[in-house]
Amino acid sequence: MESGFLTFILVSSFAVHSSRSSTDWDDVVVAREGSSTTLVCTYPTLRSPFTLNWMVKSLGAEEWKLVRTASEGKKFSGSASKPSMRWTDPNFQDTGVFSLSFFPTMEDRGLYSCMIRQQEKKLKERIILLAILTVTVLPSPIIPVHSTLRMNARVTPEMAVDKITWTSPDGITIKSEKTTNKETEAKLPLVQYTDNGVYVCTVHPWGKSSSPIFPFSVNVTITADKEASFTDIVHAEQLFTVTLVQTPMILKCPGGKGDLVKLQWKPTDRRNSGMKAVLLYDRWRGTTTSPQPSPRVELAGPPYNAEAGSFALRLTPELNDGGLYICEVHLNDKISIQSTTVTVMKVKTKRSSSKLELICLYSERSQVQTVQWKHQNPNRRLQMSTSSLGQITTTVPLPITPDTAGTYTCTLTLNNGQTILATQAVTLPPEEPVGVTAPSMLPSLAALLLLVPLVAAAVGVLLWRQKQISHRDIEYSLSVQSGEAENIYENPDDVRQQGPALDSVYMDLKPRGEDDVYKELERYEQCQS
Give the CATH number for residue 199.
2.60.40.10
Residues 7 and 117 in one domain: yes
Backbone angles phi, psi at 131, to 5 degrees: -110, 145
Show which of 131, 156, 176 is a domain's final residue. Answer: 131
Question: Is 410 within 8 Å of 372 (Cβ atoms)?
Answer: yes
Where the chain has pLDDT below 50, the residues are 1-22, 436-449, 455, 459, 461, 464, 469-510, 512-529
Please report whether residue 448 resides in a domain.
Answer: no
pLDDT of res. 457: 52
Q: Are residues 497 and 526 in the same domain?
A: yes
C-alpha–C-alpha distance, residues 127 and 136, integer Å: 30
The answer to whether position 437 is within a domain reads no
**Residues 208 and 253 occupy one common structural domain:** no
Task: Identify whether residues 137 and 127 lie together within a single domain.
Answer: no
Spatial neighbors of 122 by CB under 8 A, at least 6 apart, are: 115, 116
The predicted structure's pLDDT at residue 274: 86
Q: What per-residue confidence (pLDDT) applies to 467?
A: 52
**What is the rounded (10 degree) CA torsion for 82, 36, 40, 167?**
-140
Question: What's the domain count of the chain?
Answer: 5
How far, in Å, CA of 57 to CA of 127, rounded? 10
CA-CA-CA-CA torsion sign (103, 106, 107, 113): positive
* Coil/strand/helix, residue 461: helix
- Asked whether residue 459 is assigned to any structural domain, the reply reads no
96 in a domain, yes or no? yes
Residues 223 and 281 in one domain: no
**Is residue 362 within 8 Å of residue 371, measured between CB atoms?**
yes
Strands 260-266 and 86-87: unpaired
Phi, psi (degrees; rounded to nearest 5) at 312: -160, 160
pLDDT tens for each residue of 23-69: 579 999 999 998 999 999 998 877 778 888 999 998 888 899 999 98
141 closest CA partner among 221, 197, 199, 196? 221
Per-position DSSP letters for 316-330, written without gaps between them: E--GGG-EEEEEEEE
Asked if residue 449 is part of any domain, the answer here is no
Note whether residue 452 is domain-resident: no
DSSP, collapsed to helix, strand or coil, labels residue 6 as: helix
Bridge partners (DSSP) of residue 496 are none
- The one-letter amino acid code at 256 reads G
Burial 236-246 (b: 16+ CB within 10 A, else e): eeeebbbbbbe
Residues 479, 408 within the same domain: no
- Range of the structural domain that residue 158 is part of: 133-227
CB atoms within 10 A of CB 265: 23
- Regarding whether 487 and 399 lie in a shared domain, the answer is no
d(CA 53, CA 59): 19
The contacts of residue 368 (CB under 8 Å, 6+ apart) are 343, 362, 412, 413, 414, 415
Give the model's pLDDT for residue 468: 53
pLDDT, position 444: 47
Same domain, 127 and 137: no
Q: In sequence order, what are the beta bridge partners of 327?
A: 263, 338
Give the per-residue pLDDT at 456: 53
Angle at 303 between CA 299 and CA 308, to 5 degrees: 65
Residues 318 and 421 in one domain: no
Q: Which of 164, 194, 227 is the last residue of a domain?
A: 227
* Strands in 18-87 per DSSP E: 27-32, 37-39, 51-58, 65-71, 74-77, 86-87
Q: What is the CA radius of gyration of the chain?
A: 56
**Looking at residue 47, what is its pLDDT?**
75
The DSSP secondary structure of 338-357, one letter per residue, reads EEEEEEEEEEEEEE-SSEEE
Phi, psi of 479 (to 5 degrees): -65, -35
Confidence at residue 441, expressed as pLDDT on a 0 to 100 scale: 46
- In this structure, the answer to whether residues 375 and 471 fall within a common structural domain is no
Question: Strand, coil or helix: what is 140?
Answer: coil
What is the pTM (predicted TM-score) of this model?
0.71
Query: Considering the domain boundaries, does residue 438 fall inside one?
Result: no
- Whether 453 is in a domain gets the answer no
Spatial CA neighbour of 49 closest among 17, 20, 74: 74
123, 14: one domain: yes
pLDDT for 523: 41
Q: Are residues 85 and 162 in the same domain?
A: no
Among residues 131, 148, 176, which one ends one of the domains? 131
